Amino acid sequence: MLDGSVEPLLDRVDALDDAGVQQLLERLRTHDGNARDHAFERAYFEHRLGLALNPDRTFVANRLRHTLSQGTGKQPSPRLRALGRWAEETFAKDLEKVLRSGAPEKSLVFSSLVGDVEDGAAERIRQILEAAFEAALSSVRRAHGRTWQALREQGAARLRGSQEAGAPEIDAGMRALAEDEISCVLAGKVGVFRALVTSMRRRHEGIAPLNERLHELDDWTGLEARALRRRIAGLERSVAPWTGGKPLRAVERYTGREDRKARDRAATAFREIGPPWVLVASNVGSEGIDLHTYTRRIVHYDLEWNPARMEQREGRGDRLGRKLRGQLDIFYCLVPDTYDERMFHQLVARDRWHGVLLGKPALKLKAEETEAPLLSRARLDKVRLDLSP
């Protein structure tokens, strides 16, 4: 909501019926009351009317989605402001858990829009989240005072003075982590620190055997040689992803606008105990990479028409090897009375159809008068595929 609070869904998206969707949207309309952003609403509908009356052909859906993501004219999107307010409170809770458990809880935020590197859609989201993170860090630092400072100093000394790593690359990574405040607090938890060093040492030791195999090959241009070089490069990056470039920020980006090496470095570090703590990703980051190790939540800043794409996004954090207990939290950002409603209706309907085609039980499927009407239950039972063994 505009105040940063969260309104829970009644059910899984693929189990929602039209009544459930409508009930959710009605709650969104009435919840904020006097907090509604009337200035943005007027600007949005003026922009929408202008697009409707435009005699030239244009991609209306893309224009409206961009407006809802970033705002229109001088009116920022309420979605951005709500995200910032939610993030500040959420990140403060995450940092409190760091003090108790010694394990980071990271957030993955997906946006379909990227824009310019310096001031595009993804960068504005990153800046909003970074400001929220800094505010949360300041509040937790003040609240815990001496306890926080003692862990920070103890962890920094441990990181800088580590002699158990046994490799210059790992030592350099530890010194880089010593410059990050939260990493120092985490390093104050001895068990977490030792586990990190052990993991990095294991990867470092795996490089030498691969190099030996590579030098034994007769053909250095063949498929096997290329695969080995990729594995070696990946291990080298994973040994100390916090070195070899600018210090990683609390909030980084993973989009098609970044250099490939910088993008991979941010993703590798996101899987480890250390910055970045939040990753803003485009659809480039929705497939083919693992980001699950310490991911607590995934935020769909905007929606996709295809529910399979949403599923792919969530698959980055819902994987084997995730080290956090509890379920992965999923969030959607919706602006009521706008194009978001049309997309959400379509997303829910298509997600239920995916369930039909994949043989999943969908108990709430009914005949509905929507833009994507569904068949009756009797006919659905006939068309549903049976994929049981």
- Look up the domain containing 227 and give its range: 83-103+116-247
Strand order in the sheet with 295-300: 251-254, 278-281, 106-110, 295-300, 329-332
3-state secondary structure of 46: helix
Is 270 domain-assigned? no
Per-residue pLDDT of the chain (389 residues; tens, 9 = 90+): 888 899 888 778 877 878 888 888 888 888 877 778 889 999 999 999 998 888 887 788 888 999 999 998 788 899 999 999 999 999 999 999 988 888 899 999 999 999 888 888 999 999 999 999 999 999 999 999 999 999 999 999 988 876 555 688 888 888 899 999 999 999 888 777 788 888 888 888 999 999 999 888 888 888 889 999 988 988 888 888 888 788 999 999 999 888 888 888 999 999 988 899 999 999 888 888 889 999 999 999 999 998 889 999 999 998 888 988 888 999 999 998 899 999 999 898 888 887 777 766 544 444 444 444 445 556 666 776 777 77
Neighbours of 237 (CB within 10 A): 18
Is 152 domain-assigned? yes
Neighbours of 366 (CB within 10 A): 15
3-state secondary structure of 300: strand
- Nearest partner of 127 among 111, 141, 143, judged by Cα: 111
Structure tokens that stand for 9 in this block: 């869904």
Structure tokens that stand for 116 in this block: 């310019």
As a whole number, the mean pLDDT across the chain is 86
Distance (Å, rounded) from C-alpha 71 to C-alpha 79? Answer: 9
Distance (Å, rounded) from C-alpha 376 to C-alpha 366? Answer: 6
Is 336 domain-assigned? no
Is 75 domain-assigned? no
**Any idea what DSSP says for residue 166?**
-
Is 382 domain-assigned? no
Is 303 domain-assigned? no
Is 233 domain-assigned? yes
Number of domain units in the chain: 1
Element (H, E) at 110: strand 106-110
- Express each pLDDT in 304-358 by its tens digit: 998 889 999 999 998 888 988 888 999 999 998 899 999 999 898 888 887 777 7
- Express each pLDDT in 50-89 by its tens digit: 988 888 877 888 889 999 999 987 888 999 999 999 999 9
Is the distance from CB of 255 to CB of 263 less than 8 angstroms? yes
Is 124 domain-assigned? yes
Structure tokens that stand for 313 in this block: 């996004």
